[in-house]
Amino acid sequence: PLPFDHLEAVKCLEKCGEFYAQEGRWSMAAKNMKEIAEIYEKEASFDKAMAAYEKAAEYYEGDNAP
C-alpha cells in the first residue's frame, strides 16, 4: 500500500485536473490524470488506472487541437 491517503490525493488531483481543463491547460490536466492513473496502478486498481490513462490521452489530444 501507498504511504499516504491515496483516495484524498486522487480527489485533489481530479479537482486540479478539472480546473486546468476548464482553463484550456490540457497538458497540465493530462499530467494530473496520469498521476491519478499511477496511484491506481500502484494500488492494483487496474480498471480505474486504465480509465485515468485514457482521460489523460484525451487531454493530451486537446492540447494539440487547433
Question: Grid coordinates in use for 55?
Answer: 482521460
What is the predicted pLDDT for the residue at 3? 67
Q: Are 35 and 13 in contact (CB under 8 A)?
A: yes
What is the predicted pLDDT for the residue at 65? 56
Q: Are 39 and 6 in contact (CB under 8 A)?
A: yes
| Spans in the chain with pLDDT lower than 50 | 66
- How far is Cα 58 from Cα 54, in angstroms, rounded to an integer? 6
